[in-house]
Amino acid sequence: MTAPATVQHILDRFLKPEALDGHRRRVCSHLRACHTPAMGGMQLVCDQCDSEQHWYHGCRDRHCPQCQSRATRRWAQRRQDDLIPVRYFHVVFTLPHHLNGWVQLHPELIYRLLFKAVWTTLKTFGQDPKRLNGQVGMTAVLHTWGQNLSQHVHLHCLIPGGALGSNGQWHPARSNYLFPVRALSRHFRGQMVSLLRQAATRGELSRVTRSGQVDEMLDRLMAIDWVVYSKHCLDHTASVVDYLARYTHRIAINNARILEVNDTEVAFRYTDYRDSNTIKTLHLTGQEFVRRFLMHVLPKGLMRVRHFGFLANCCRRAQLARIRQALCDPKDDPAEPSRPSRPETWLCPRCNSGRLHRVRVISPTRTQPHAPG
């Protein structure tokens, strides 16, 4: 008999907690407890069919594939509210796979430098008087995986097509690619390699221990082309926002892609982008699936989503108001939506006519782990 095809049941079956560090062990504890009696919940009774149901709380861990859907929708709605009536660009900056080993050794450092290198590159191009001559804005979301759960570190950036000048005027982008992709790629490469060399000089790459490895790696990185993808999304900006939102509160894979779990293997669906976007099925041993999934657990406290330039949290509202004024866009600054009160009753999913009423609070069945990281 096959097990339910979910990440939670895969972890229950194949995880070996003793082989994990403390942070990953806590994350796995959260994911395994999600929507189970371990989290506590409510006992409800329908006033029509008298059916009794137990609803258990979610873990709210940012790596969990089966909860936080409301948080995802709220994030997407806030980004939709921030959209201005200009052309947007979806730009992706990818780290070469040569750096995957260093990412495993120093994930927090590499991810931080990636955000810095990307923003420095875009800010430099935006401020260039021959290009946009102003301040650009960027929302960036870190992805660390490929469709087959392999390590593939890249930054998805949603960028309004233009810049806010020092005189308060809006300087629109004049091309379909925002900035020349080849020039972006070279500047990004130079910035990232320079930041890595500075980090090595400060001793921040201490886990890279082989003599001469740092210089050898950085020289190799400078000798290859780095991948930057850029495309305008005039007609589907909202779709790009929704795409980025899917992985602001989860990682790597959702349960809908998992096809089968048996005593030894996991089968899941993936898109092979190198083969004309063909949909394929990949079979992995249970232990290998768990290993690949846990590669993408983020360091504790690391912010996966960041905003820069005129979209930075500290100035976004004021700067967007200036831009809308320059564009003669009368849209009111949206007020922070009030959180709706939790309903006292819910529609019964069994009879679809009665209402479920809470009759008892269910206490957690065990001591809860530390708060999600």
C-alpha 90/C-alpha 158 separation (Å) is 5
Q: Based on the fold, state whether residues 138 and 157 are members of the same structural domain.
A: yes
Asked if the structure places residue 142 within a domain, the reply is yes
What separation in angstroms does the CA of 104 have from each of 160, 244, 373? 33, 24, 18
In the chain, beta strands by DSSP E: 41-46, 52-56, 88-94, 137-145, 151-160, 162-164, 170-172, 228-232, 258-261, 265-272, 278-285, 305-309, 345-347, 355-362
Asked if the structure places residue 258 within a domain, the reply is no
**Structural domain harbouring 32:** 7-62+338-362
Q: Based on the fold, state whether residues 102 and 218 are members of the same structural domain.
A: yes
pLDDT tens sequence across 66-104: 888 888 899 999 999 999 999 999 999 999 999 999 999
Higher pLDDT, 372 or 157: 157
Unique residue bearing structure tokens 């806010």:
164
pLDDT tens sequence across 163-216: 999 989 999 998 888 999 999 999 999 999 999 999 999 999 999 998 899 999
Asked if the structure places residue 288 within a domain, the reply is no
Q: Based on the fold, state whether residues 233 and 143 are members of the same structural domain.
A: yes
Q: Based on the fold, state whether residues 107 and 30 are members of the same structural domain.
A: no
* Mean pLDDT of the 12-34 span: 93
* Per-residue confidence (pLDDT) for residue 373, from 0 to 100: 46
Cβ of 175: how many Cβ atoms within 10 Å? 12
Q: Based on the fold, state whether residues 79 and 156 are members of the same structural domain.
A: yes
Q: Based on the fold, state whether residues 91 and 233 are members of the same structural domain.
A: yes
Asked if the structure places residue 266 within a domain, the reply is no
Structural domains counted in the chain: 2
Asked if the structure places residue 129 within a domain, the reply is yes
pTM, entire model? 0.88
pLDDT tens sequence across 270-328: 999 889 889 999 999 999 999 999 999 999 999 999 999 999 999 999 999 999 999 98
* Per-residue confidence (pLDDT) for residue 337, from 0 to 100: 53
| Best CA proximity match to 185, nearest among 223, 229, 220, 218 | 229
* Per-residue confidence (pLDDT) for residue 332, from 0 to 100: 54
| Type of residue numbered 167 | N
**100 membership: H or E segment, kind and range:** helix 100-105
* Per-residue confidence (pLDDT) for residue 353, from 0 to 100: 83
Q: Based on the fold, state whether residues 75 and 224 are members of the same structural domain.
A: yes
- Provide the total of helices (H) and of strands (E) in the chain, helices listed first: 10, 14
Q: Based on the fold, state whether residues 37 and 117 are members of the same structural domain.
A: no
Asked if the structure places residue 369 within a domain, the reply is no
Q: Based on the fold, state whether residues 182 and 79 are members of the same structural domain.
A: yes
Q: Based on the fold, state whether residues 31 and 81 are members of the same structural domain.
A: no
R_g (Cα) of the chain, nearest Å: 24
C-alpha 147/C-alpha 92 separation (Å) is 16
Q: Based on the fold, state whether residues 109 and 247 are members of the same structural domain.
A: yes
Supply the angle between the helices 181-201 and 213-222 in degrees, to the nearest 10.
Answer: 170
| Best CA proximity match to 184, nearest among 251, 92, 83 | 92
Higher pLDDT, 334 or 237: 237
| Best CA proximity match to 367, nearest among 65, 42, 22, 33 | 33
Q: Based on the fold, state whether residues 14 and 88 are members of the same structural domain.
A: no
